[in-house]
Amino acid sequence: MIKIGENVIEYSKDFRFYITTKLRNPHYLPEVAVKVSLLNFMITPEGLEDQLLGIVVAKERSVTPPPKTNTHTLQNSPNFMSCTG
């Protein structure tokens, strides 16, 4: 049930209600704020570029295999010649 003014009406569970505002930082009563999801769509082109770059870098890091490390040292090589003498 939804109360609109003095009227109480039934509603569908699939019902979605969207409200937009041009206010930069709108203030809602606590009773409203706990019942809604607030989305901030204010983004600058530079901010969007930074976000997308972060996503690409994260994906590249997960796809690129780690660099191979050479676990053999020169001393373990069969052709190693000691220069002490």
Question: Given this model, what pLDDT does residue 69 score?
Answer: 64
H helices present in 1-85, as ranges:
30-33, 45-63
Q: So where are the chain's domains?
A: 16-43
Interval 32-41: pLDDT, tens: 888 888 777 7
Question: Given this model, what pLDDT does residue 67 score?
Answer: 67
Write down the pTM of the prediction.
0.31
Residue 11: both structure tokens together: 């509603």
Question: Given this model, what pLDDT does residue 75 score?
Answer: 54
Please tell me the distance from the alpha carbon of residue 76 to that of residue 66, in angstroms, as a whole number.
24
Which contacts of 69-73 are long-range, i.e. CB under 8 A and separated by 24 or more positions?
A: none
Interval 25-84: pLDDT, tens: 788 888 888 888 877 777 788 888 888 899 999 888 877 666 666 555 555 555 555 555
Question: Given this model, what pLDDT does residue 81 score?
Answer: 57
